[in-house]
Amino acid sequence: MVKTDADLIILGAGPAGLTAAQYGARANMRVLVIEELTPGGQALFIGVLENYPGYMPSTPGAVKSGFELVNNMYQQAQTFGAVFITETVQSLQKEGDIFTVCLASGKTFRGLAVIVATGAQHRLLDIPGEETFSGRGVSYCANCDGPFFKEKKIFVIGGGDAACDEAQFLSRLSSQVVLIHRRDRFRSQKALAERVLRNPHITVCFNTRLLEIRGVQKVSSVLLENILTGEHYEEAGDAVFIYAGAIPQTSVVPDVQKDASGYIITDQEMATSIPGIFCAGDVRACPFRQVVVAAGEGAVAAHSAAAYIDRIKGEEALGAIP
């Protein structure tokens, strides 16, 4: 068999990639994980992780934040022998049964199977002022930037789980949180929506659209539209936290089958339309994006990749018998 650098190459080290790395290494595969940023993905920004099974933030000594959980996952994967490198992947090619991953640095790595766990990035609203005031009042991370706006007026944009969770987080820092959502009901899980609606520090404006973010050196107001009446009005405020969903990161696998929103389609074994490429986590077409789902998918993907590798190694060995 042609020599490879790893059996399994995992692209991305969020909860899906980290779990796949742990399961893959524990199954005795040579696992290489390539991540361009700090391992942990979006979970790094979860302040209080209250819905990961078995972890209760109120229990003394328990894992509390997404940061702590993914850090443990990272160490656990390394303990089992997974190797991590920090690099940007430029392309992925397949020749025969061998995958070659080309990195921005010019290095290449060859493997027998690949798990794409590249996640998703926050969606921009693409409105005037968003880019200008990014880092000067406009933010996508309440955990990172919320503390700069204690007792200031904060707008949160979106109606999904992230907007509700983060509005809730921000309401602990300020009693003037205004959640702006374009529709007349939340997309988020009911429990999160109810918590927001009950929170005296959060004012919810349904049927409202953010048109522009205004200011001089930093955010000082927003221009809003009441979608029902068409009225435009300006409201003073200091920060805008945007949670308008996510865009799957699939540029390294342009040819795998995707759904209409660009998420990678797999079967229940996490196999994509290209044999040997598996997929897990937020980049995969799945109706429920959670840390626990990503971790579960990572475990399945590693298991399926191991079976695939066994199969191709077996076929090659059989082929070698005269």
- Name the site residues for ligand NAP (rule: CB under 6 A): 51, 123, 125, 157-163, 165, 182-183, 187, 243-246, 288-290
Least gap, CB of 288 to ligand NAP (angstroms): 6
CA distance 24 to 300: 10
DSSP string covering 105-171, please? TS-EEEESEEEE---EEEPP---TTTTTTBTTTEES-HHHHGGGGTTS-EEEE-SSHHHHHHHHHHT
Candidates 133, 112, 14, 132; CA nearest to 69 is 14
Nearer to ligand NAP, 80 or 206 (CB): 206
Select which of 5, 102, 141, 205 is catalytic: 141
Nearer to ligand NAP, 18 or 89 (CB): 18
Least gap, CB of 58 to ligand NAP (angstroms): 16
Least gap, CB of 132 to ligand NAP (angstroms): 18
Select which of 5, 145, 205, 310 is catalytic: 145
DSSP designation for 263: P
Q: Are strands 83-86 and 89-95 parallel, antiparallel or unpaired?
A: unpaired
CA distance 252 to 278: 13
Buried b (16+ CB within 10 A) or exposed e, 283-313: bbbbeebbbbbbbbbbbbbbbbbbebbeebe
**Annotation says 144 is catalytic:** yes
Nearer to ligand NAP, 35 or 161 (CB): 161
Nearer to ligand NAP, 133 or 243 (CB): 243
Cβ contact 279:272 at 8 Å: yes
CA distance 301 to 22: 11
Nearer to ligand NAP, 244 or 299 (CB): 244
**Annotation says 145 is catalytic:** yes
Least gap, CB of 219 to ligand NAP (angstroms): 17
Select which of 5, 97, 126, 144 is catalytic: 144
**Annotation says 141 is catalytic:** yes
Q: Which residues are registered as beta bridge partners of 108?
A: 102
Cβ contact 274:256 at 8 Å: yes
Nearer to ligand NAP, 4 or 19 (CB): 19
- Please state the φ and ψ torsions of residue 223, each to the nearest 5 degrees: -105, 125
Least gap, CB of 64 to ligand NAP (angstroms): 14
Least gap, CB of 162 to ligand NAP (angstroms): 3
And the tokens for 119?
């996640």
Active-site positions read: 141, 144-145
